């Protein structure tokens, strides 16, 4: 079997409707199975946002350098934590997409194997 036959088999069986979109990824992330994780991420995000806002307000109210440094450090840590939470959420969103893509590739290999055997 040469490369032309393989390309022909792949082009004939390719279906664009099976591709994942961002909407499908978000639908999987906000499913019932992931509800506890999503709620947990939102709660921690709101906590860190509130702490960042409070520390920013306290930073401008403070009159000592020591307090300025403390509130600035708290603000930076809270901002970094929010970014970390977003990164974790993105990894969890793409996790199911990667698993689905691996299964799809396994099915494609099996289909290709069957079509090669039939020729």
Domain for residue 65, yes or no?
yes
Distance CA 33, CA 48 (A): 25
- Could you give the residue ranges of the DSSP H alpha helices within the chain? 3-13, 22-29, 35-61, 65-118
pLDDT of residue 82: 96
Structural domain contains residue 1 = no
Question: Does residue 15 belong to any structural domain of this protein?
Answer: no
> Do the domain assignments include residue 75?
yes
pLDDT mean values, one per 10 residues, the chain (119 residues): 62 55 73 84 95 97 96 97 93 78 84 80
For residue 9, the model assigns a pLDDT of: 59
**Domain presence at residue 9:** no
pTM of the full structure: 0.65
CA of 44: how far to CAs of 37, 55, 78, 89, 107, in Å? Answer: 11, 16, 10, 12, 39
* Any domain includes 88: yes
Query: Is residue 78 within 8 Å of residue 58, measured between CB atoms?
Result: no
In a domain, 94, yes or no: yes
d(CA 49, CA 42): 10
Give the total number of structural domains in the chain.
Answer: 1
Residues of the domain holding 53:
31-118
């Amino acid at each position: 079997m040469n490369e032309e036959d393989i390309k022909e088999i792949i082009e004939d069986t390719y279906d664009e409707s099976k591709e994942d979109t961002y909407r499908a990824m978000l639908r999987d992330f906000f499913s019932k199975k992931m509800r506890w994780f999503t709620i947990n991420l939102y709660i921690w995000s709101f906590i860190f946002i509130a702490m960042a806002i409070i520390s920013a307000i306290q930073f401008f109210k403070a009159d000592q350098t020591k307090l300025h440094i403390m509130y600035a450090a708290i603000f930076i840590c809270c901002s970094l934590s929010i970014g970390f939470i977003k990164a974790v959420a993105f990894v969890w969103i793409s996790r199911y997409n990667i698993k689905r893509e691996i299964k799809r590739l396994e099915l494609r290999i099996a289909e290709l194997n069957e079509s090669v055997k039939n020729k």
